[in-house]
A and B are shown apart, each in its own frame.
Chain A
Amino acid sequence: MSFTFERGKLAAVPSGSVIPERDLDKTPILETRHLGIDFGGLHAVQDFNLTIGRTEIAGLIGPNGAGKTTVFNLLTKVYQPTRGTILLDGMDTAGKTTEQINRMGIARTFQNIRLFNNLSVEDNVKIGLHNQKSYSMLAGILRLPSYWKQEKAAHERALALLSIFEMQDMADVRAGSLPYGAQRRLEIVRALATSPSVLLLDEPAAGMNPSETAELMETIVTIRDIFQIAIVLIEHDMSLVMNICEGICVLNFGQVIAKGSPEEIQANPAVIEAYLGRKKEE
C-alpha cells in the first residue's frame, strides 16, 4: 500500500490521549470520562477515557470482543452508560437518545451493515438528509412549492455526496442488491449526509479486497479534509489504521491498554502481547 499522507504532529492532552496539535486550541469535539458499561457481570467497557480532536482521524483497535463496538454504541446511546460522561463539543450528552445524538453531530456506520435495503441508493442518502430538510408531511402530500424546492436540493446533495465514492451512477439501484463493498461505502455516505461533526466508522474495510481498502483509505482522508470533521474508526486491517490514524487507542477486555501515535502503538509491549496472546489462544 503506497498511500501516504502528511500526518499532523501529535500532542498529549490531560486524558492521556494524543490529538493533533492543530486541534489543541479548540474544545475537543468528543471527550469521554470514566465511561463504562456492564452487561450483567461482564464489564464490557471500563474507565474509558478518550479525547478526540476536531479534525483528527483516530483509531480504536483491539482483539475481537474487546469492546470497540460497545464504545460506539455508548457514544451513540444505543446503550446508556452504566458510569461516566460523554462530552460532545463540550456538552454533556447524558439522557440523550440515539436520534438526538445524531442531531447533535455524531453519525456512524455499523459493523453488520444496516442499510434501508428495499429503498434505492439515493433514497438511503436522502434519509440521511432527513434533518437537513424541513418541509412538513402536508407539504409533501400536497406537493407545495417547499416540497419541490427541497426535494430538488436533496436530490442534488445526495448525488454530490455519492460522488465522493463515485457512486452517483448507482443512485437508482436498490441498496440491498449492491455488492458488499458498495454497501459499506453507501453507509458512510448516508452517515455523512446527516452533516456530522464526528463520524464513527465500525470496520469500514471489512470484507473489502486490498485495492478497495486502499481506495477507502484515501477517501477517508479526503472526507476529513473536505468536511473538516473528526473520524474515529474501528478496524482490524492494521495497514489502514497505521497509515491514516493520528491518535490510536487500544482496547483489550474492555480496558484501554495503550494510547498514542501509530509508531508508539506498534512498539508498545502491552499491545503486542494483547494481539499475540490472542493468537496463542486460538
Chain B
Amino acid sequence: MKMKKKIAWSDYMTYIGVTIAFVIVSFLKKGGALNRSQLGLLVPICAYITMAISLNLTVGILGELSLGHAGFMSIGAFSGIIAAMSLVNVIPYDGVRMAIAMVVGAVMAGIFGFFIGIPVLRLRGDYLAIVTLAFGEIIKEILTCLIVGVDAEGLHILINIDGSKTASDLNLLEGGKAIIKGAQGAVGTKTIASFTAGYILIMISLIIILNLIRSRSGRAIMAIRDNRIAAESVGIEITKYKMMAFVTSAAIAGAAGALYGLNYSSLAAAKFDFNTSILVLVFVVLGGLGNIWGSIVAATVLYILPEALRSFADYRMLMYAIVLIVVMLATNSSKAKDLLDKLKPAGKEEEQ
C-alpha cells in the first residue's frame, strides 16, 4: 500500500540498475569479451533507451500518442553533427564536443517541439497521432534536401529543393568541408560518440523525467492525462503543461539523436523514418506506459534481440515476433503482472 516509499525506492533502483549494467558492460569491454558487432551496438542501445524514456514522457506520462518521435531524433542528430563537425578545429577534446553536440541537438529539437506543439497540442487522440506522423515525414524530407558545409568563413547552408544542387554549390573556401550532402546525409563525420557519453545521457534523462514526475509540474502533466476536465477545474493550465511535457520529450530525443548521429561516419535522414518512430513506440508500449524502467528494459532487449538472433538466420523475424507476443501477453495478463510485481518489489505497480 505504501506507494510513496516504493516510488522513491524504485527511482533509486532505476539509477542503480542502469549504473550496474554500465559498469558490467564496461568491464566486459575492457576485458575484450565483446566482439566488434557487439561493441557497435552499445551506443545505439543507449540512444534508443533514451528515445524510449523520452517518448514515454509524451505517451505514458502526458498520455498523448505521438508517431513522429524519430523526427526529433533526426533534428538532434543533424544539428549535433553540424555542431560537432564545425568545432573540430576549435575544440580538440572529443568529450567536450560530444557534450556540446548533445546540448545543441536537445535545444534544436526542443525549439522544433515548441513550434510543432503549438498546433499539434490543440488536437486530441487520433488527430494528434496523425499530425505527429506527418511531421516526422516532413522533417525527414526537409533534411534530405539539406546541404551544409563549413569553412573558414563559418557555416554554409543550402536547401536543395529541386534536386539540382550539390555540395560543390556551397562554394567552400580552400580547406572547407561538406558536412551534410542532401540525400546522402551526413558524410565524413568524425565519430566521437562513446558508451560513456551514452550512459551519462541516459542518467541525465532519467533524472529529468523521474524528478519531473515527482514534482508539481509532473503531477499537473499526469493530472491532464488522467482527467483533463478535472485538471482544468483545479486551475491547471492545460496548454502550458502539455507543452512542457512535449518540449522536454522532444529535447531529450534530440540529445539521443546527437549521440546516435555521431556514432556513424555517414548517416542518411532516411534512417529516421516512420519505422523508427514505431520501433520506439513499441519499446514504450511493451515496457509499460508510464513505466520508465520498463522502457529501458524493453529498448535494450528488443534492440539486441534481432542481432542476437542473427545465427538463426531465416527464423530471425519469427523469433522476434514470438518474443513480442510473449512480452505482450506477459505485460497484459494480470497474473503475469502480479508475478512480475513479486519478482521486482520496487517496480511497475505504482506506475499503473
Contacts and interface: CB of A to CB of B under 8 A. Distances in A.
Interface in B204-260: 207-208, 211-212, 214-220, 222-223, 225-227, 229-238, 244
Interface string B1-29: 11110000000000000000000000000
B227 A102 contact: no
B234 A107 contact: yes
Contacts of A116: 222-223, 226-227, 230-231
B234 A128 contact: yes
B222 A119 contact: yes
Interface stretch (A12-20, A130-138, A241-249): A130-138
Contacts of A117: 226-227
Contacts of A130: 216, 219-220, 223, 234-236
A30 interface: no
A149 interface: no
A141 B208 CA distance: 6
Contacts of A224: none
Contacts of A131: 234-235
**SS of B interface (majority):** helix
B231 A127 contact: yes
Contacts of B226: 115-119
Given A107-B234, A131-B235, A172 B4 contact: yes
B352 interface: yes
Contact of B230 (A115, A142, A171, A193): A115
- Interface size class on chain A is 35 or more
Given A120-B3, A141-B211, A141-B212, A107 B222 contact: no
Query: Which 9 residue pairs across A and B have the least CB separation, nearest first?
Result: A140-B215, A102-B235, A114-B230, A116-B226, A172-B3, A98-B232, A137-B217, A127-B223, A131-B235
Interface of A: 76, 78, 97-100, 102-103, 107-108, 110, 114-120, 122-123, 126-128, 130-131, 133, 135-137, 140-143, 147, 150-151, 154, 171-174, 190-191, 193-194
18 contacts: A102-B232, A102-B235, A103-B235, A110-B230, A118-B222, A126-B216, A127-B234, A130-B219, A131-B235, A135-B215, A136-B217, A137-B215, A140-B214, A140-B215, A140-B217, A147-B215, A150-B216, A194-B234
Interface of B: 1-4, 207-208, 211-212, 214-220, 222-223, 225-227, 229-238, 244, 290, 352
